[in-house]
Amino acid sequence: MAKDPGRVLIFDTTLRDGEQSPGASLNLEEKLAIAQQLARLGVDIIEAGFPFASQGDFKAVQRIAEQVGGVDGPIICGLARASSADIKACAEAISPAPCKRIHTFIATSDIHLEHKLRKTRGDVLKIVPEMVHYAKSLCDDVEFSCEDAARSEPEFLYQVIESAIKAGAGTINIPDTVGYTTPAEFGELILGINKNVPNIDEAILSVHGHNDLGLAVANFLEAVKNGARQLECTINGIGERAGNAALEELVMALHVRRRYFNPYFGKKSESPTPLTAIRTEEITKTSRLVSNLTGMIVQPNKAIVGANAFAHESGIHQDGVLKNRLTYEIVDAKTVGLSDNRISLGKLSGRSAVRARLEDLGYDLTREDLNDAFARFKDLADRKREITDRDLEAIVSEQAMQPDSRFQLHLVQVSCGNALKPTATVTITDQDGCEKTAVALGTGPVDAVCKALRDLTCEPNDLIEFSVKSVTEGIDALGEVTIRLRRDGKIFSGHSADTDVVVAAAQAYINALNRLVSSVKNSSIHPQDDVVEAKI
């Protein structure tokens, strides 16, 4: 890859940092579906995961490298701490991809060195070239990150970066790990690196940032003005704590304000050449896919992809938009793939039509998953006259993308009313095929169902969130339910949709519970919280 790409490279870390959002864990099939859509979106690099974390992570990265990393597709990247074991596992996982990258990192701020790594600056200056050189021996494309760079002493940072580039790093990433900095400060940091690292022209300068103060996107745009040419971001801005810089906001800011940013790339302000390789018409589709599969609901007033992003309620605004959209809209909704078109699918539609539409929406299903999705489609078509894209998305994310199931829901029956005590009868089967039934009372039908399921499964947990929304308009709309369970400080999400919200709630609870059980069986480590000695 050229050291000056002439545009901004988009490094998507939805499948790695985004998955670290509480409750957003994804299984292999879900990760693969998102990776395939990211490729359609046109991202330059996909950080597919942290291979050393667990066997599940390793297999997911390897599968993405095999199926998504084509010659003309995105670079498939894996994360590795500055440790020989991590780097080796990463190299093995990404090996099937024609275009691949090892992304290794170590902390450089004094607070991290003292309290987390318990190492000196001298230790870090020794580890960095050794580990980068080792990564380079296994993969031509190596990225190095200075964790917590925004709180690191600049002069020390310059030394670390220089040594990493000398050892073979072609990309240097500057993370604002805790979302602490402001745009002016971040811009000065990037400018200082460009001025004070002698060999910086041999590497692409990248940025990674969290949104703890709501400044991540602003910080990145200031970094671009000062020479950053790779942005590490996530779909919908998901990620740890307050999340990461949002891909859709960054891309559309560079698209809409291209005349403003062009001069920083040495171009005339009126140059029509895009500043990223993103296919913007895929943005809405990608946002919905990630939201459906992670259970992370997009807030209505979210920029670019929120439900209200292109809605106008004020009479003055409505009048202006009707006369000329430019009066109150700076983005054409069609540019991000949003349209009011409704598909013509109903109960007479065949499997081929459903499969073709699902592929248009970004889903590439196996034969078995397609059979499941089509069965649910036909069941829904008997209850709804018109099936929309949103209905299809809900069907697939709930039916065909669930983790390996220890528990399966077979029957839900409730009785309730103003003169009745809400009662639920629930039947499930476990992985051995044993059928169990329980009856429970609750404050409402959903509470009764959840209590019955808790009694049946004997898996301790706390239900900390229950949310329901309508997928589309109308009295026959699907009700989409998200449930979050907590155990031992970890959060697990379940997501389901049905025309009966009580049934949807029961299935969402089962899905969350299956994730909980799967997580217990496949424990993993956190790339930044778990520290290892760096040895070759």
pLDDT digits (tens, 9 = 90+) for 219-260: 999 999 999 999 999 999 999 999 999 999 999 999 999 999
- Of 302 and 363, the structure prediction assigns the larger pLDDT to 302
Same domain, 65 and 146: yes
Task: Reply yes or no on whether the pLDDT at 536 is more than 50.
Answer: no
How would you label 61-76 residue by residue, b for 16+ Cβ within 10 Å and e otherwise? bbbbbebbbeeebbbb
Same domain, 495 and 392: no
Tell me how far apart the alpha carbons of residues 458 and 298 are, in angstroms, rounded to a whole number.
Answer: 32
CA dihedral 465, 466, 470, 471 (to 10 degrees): 60
Helix, strand, coil % in the chain, rounded to nearest 5 = 45, 20, 35
Question: What is the DSSP-derived secondary structure letter of residue 345?
Answer: B
Burial of 356 (0-12, 13-18, 19+ CB in 10 A): exposed
CA 514, 518, 520, 524 dihedral sign is negative
Q: Are 435 and 392 in a shared domain?
A: no
Does any domain span residue 126? yes
Q: Which of 40, 518, 7, 83 is nearest to 281 (CA)?
A: 40
What are the phi and psi torsion angles at 261 (to 5°)? -85, -25
pLDDT at 521: 64
Domain assignment present for 158: yes
* 462: β partners: 486
Residues 361, 428: one domain? no
Both 378 and 451 in a single domain? no
Same domain, 384 and 448: no
CA-CA distance, 225 to 138, in Å (whole number)?
Answer: 34
Identify whether residues 382 and 505 lie together within a single domain: no
The answer to whether position 104 is within a domain reads yes
pLDDT digits (tens, 9 = 90+) for 301-349: 999 999 888 764 445 444 554 555 556 567 888 899 876 544 557 777 7
Name the least confident of 1-15, 284-298, 372-386, 416-430: 372-386
Q: What pLDDT, on a 0 to 100 scale, did the predictor assign at position 222?
A: 98
Residues 217 and 69 occupy one common structural domain: yes
d(CA 431, CA 427): 14
Q: Does 202 share its domain with 114?
A: yes
Distance of alpha carbon 332 from alpha carbon 414, whole angstroms: 46
| CA proximity to 435, closest of 421, 456, 451, 418 | 456
Q: Which of 294, 317, 339 is the last residue of a domain?
A: 294
Q: Is residue 346 part of a domain?
A: no
For 375-506, list the strands marked E by DSSP.
408-417, 420-429, 435-441, 462-470, 479-487, 490-498
Integer Cα distance of 23 and 28 in angstroms:
16
Give yes or no: residues 115 and 264 share one domain: yes
Is 474 found in the same domain as 389?
no
Domain containing 376: what range? 351-399
Question: Which of 85-99, 115-129, 398-412, 443-457 is predicted with the least confidence, judged by mean pLDDT?
Answer: 398-412
Instruction: Judge if 77 and 111 occupy the same domain.
Output: yes
pLDDT at site 316 = 47
Q: Name which of 469, 468, 458 is nearest 513 in CA terms.
A: 458
How far does CA 343 lie from the centroid of its chain? 27
Rounded to 5°, angle at Cα 34 from 28 and 38: 140
Residue holding tokens 């690191």?
152
pLDDT in tens, 73-84: 899 999 999 999
Tally of domains within the chain: 3
Mean pLDDT value across residues 202-215: 97
Q: Are 70 and 96 in contact (CB under 8 A)?
A: no
Residue that is last in its domain, among 338, 368, 399 = 399
For residue 481, give the CATH number of its domain.
Answer: 3.30.160.270
Which residues touch 212 (CB under 8 Å, ≥6 apart)?
Answer: 178, 179, 180, 241, 242
Structural domain contains residue 318: no
Assigned domain for 334 exists: no
Q: Summarize pLDDT for 493-524 with one digit per residue, the tens.
A: 888 888 889 998 998 999 888 888 877 666 67
